[in-house]
Amino acid sequence: MNSVEQLLAELDGAREQLLVVIETLPDEALTQPGAVADWSITDVLVNLTVWESELVTALMQIEKGKRPTRLLAALAEAEAYNQARYEENQERELDRVFDDLMKVRLELEEWLETLSDRDLTDGQRYKWLNGRPLAHLIRQITIENERRHLPAITHFAQQWQATQDEMEDIIPLTTITILNSTNE
C-alpha cells in the first residue's frame, strides 16, 4: 500500500468512527449545544468541514507552486479561526451541513489521489512545513481533528441514548379513569 492509499484508508476509518457514533441520533440531539464544550455535534461537523475545505484550497495552491498562506495563518491562530467559522455558520441547516461534510471529503480524496508518495512523505519537499511531511499536516487537520472530538461526541451520544431509554421506561399516564358509583 502506498502513502496515498494508506492516508485514504486512515481518513475513511476516522470518518466511519464518527459517523457510527452519531448515526442513530435524531436531529434534536445533533443540534443541541453542549456536546463538545458549548458546541453541538452540528457545530463540530461544520468545523471539520471548514478545515477540510481550507486543506483542499491549500492543495490547489500547492499544485500551482504557491505557499498556502491562508491555511498556515488559520493553523497559527486556530482558536480564533474556529470561533470565526463558528459564528459564520450558526444558521446552517443540518442537511446542508451533512452535504458539505461529504462533498468536501470527496474533493479532498480526489486531490490526495493526485499527490505522489514524495509529495506526502518528504519532509524537505515543502519548506514552509519546516521539515514536516505534508501527510503529517493532512492527518493533523483531518484525522486528528476528528479523533480529538470523538470521545466527547461518544459520551454525549451515550448520555442521549440513556436518557431516551429512561423516558421509554416511564409509563405514560395519558388516561385516568375514575369510576363513579351511582345509586339508582
**CA–CA gap between residue 135 and residue 172 (Å, rounded):** 55
Taken in order of first residue, the domains within the chain and their CATH numbers are 3-169 (1.20.120.450)
Q: What is the pLDDT along the chain (184 residues), one digit of tens a residue?
A: 789 999 999 999 999 999 999 999 999 999 999 999 999 999 999 999 999 999 999 999 999 999 999 999 999 999 999 999 999 999 899 999 999 999 999 999 999 999 999 999 999 999 999 999 999 999 999 999 999 999 999 999 999 999 887 776 665 555 444 444 555 5
What is the separation, in whole angstroms, between the first and last Cα of the chain? Answer: 90
Q: What is the pLDDT of residue 39?
A: 97
Q: What is the pLDDT of residue 165?
A: 73
Q: What sign does the dihedral 84-86-87-91 (CA atoms) show? A: positive
Q: What is the pLDDT of residue 164?
A: 82
The pTM (predicted TM-score) of the whole model is: 0.88
What SS3 state is found at 9? helix
Q: What is the pLDDT of residue 176?
A: 44
